[in-house]
Amino acid sequence: MNGRPAGAHLLPLACLALAVAVGPLVAGCAAVVIGATVGAGTLVAMDRRSSGIRASDQAIESKVAKDAANRWASGVHLNVTSFDGKVLLTGEVPTTATRDEIGQLATATEYVRGVNNELVVGPETEFGARTQDTYITTKVKTRLIEAGRFDANNVKVVTERRVVYLLGLVAREEGDAAAGIAASTTDVARVVKLFEYTD
């Protein structure tokens, strides 16, 4: 699909695992929360979504982010993740009104089937906090791969303020396993499951 030779995806995975091997990967378990609705990068080689749905999700993410940036030039840190038309909004906004307006903007976007608005009212996170979130995402993804209990390509991992959101189209057993792995990963404060289930 992406024109790379067979097995080319293994090198990035090996590098990803090496990048986090120097740090501790397991600690006390974080709380796991089940989200009421669902919706940042996943390996797409075995993604259970169709190519059309993946393209639609990418278009949703781009449009919501662009529309929000055009309307709120500063004071807003917004991450938009879409999975099968269901959108997850994370980041920080200055007011409750802004939070609600961004949620409404996402809801009104074409092909969106639902919105989970996790935006926090408060100052934008510092660079160090965002770096830690990226590192947590890397650790969780690597541990999902290393566990070998299911195809980790089917799980999206999004981290904001040390809260890990898990999205994807999975069996319930796979979702529970992914949540358990994420919850036991170092520095994770909480895990929120926003899966769509195949069973």
The secondary element (H helix, E strand) that includes residue 158 is: strand 155-160
Q: Which of 91-95, 147-151, 164-168 shows the lowest per-residue confidence on average (mean pLDDT)? A: 147-151
pLDDT of residue 18: 39
Give the tens place of pLDDT for each residue, 46-103.
Answer: 578 888 999 999 999 999 999 999 999 889 999 999 999 999 999 999 999 999 999 9
pLDDT at 153: 87
pLDDT at 48: 81
Beta-bridged to residue 88, according to DSSP, are 81, 116
Give yes or no for residue 32 having a pLDDT over 80: no
CA distance 184 to 179: 9
The pLDDT score that the predictor gives to residue 57 is 95
3-state secondary structure of 146: helix
pLDDT digits (tens, 9 = 90+) for 172-186: 999 999 999 999 999
* Res 110: pLDDT: 95
Domain topology for 51-121: Histidine-containing Protein; Chain: A; (3.30.1340)
User: Model's pTM, two decimal places?
Assistant: 0.76
What confidence score (pLDDT) does residue 102 get? 97
pLDDT at position 121: 97
Q: 């929120």: which residue's tokens?
A: 192
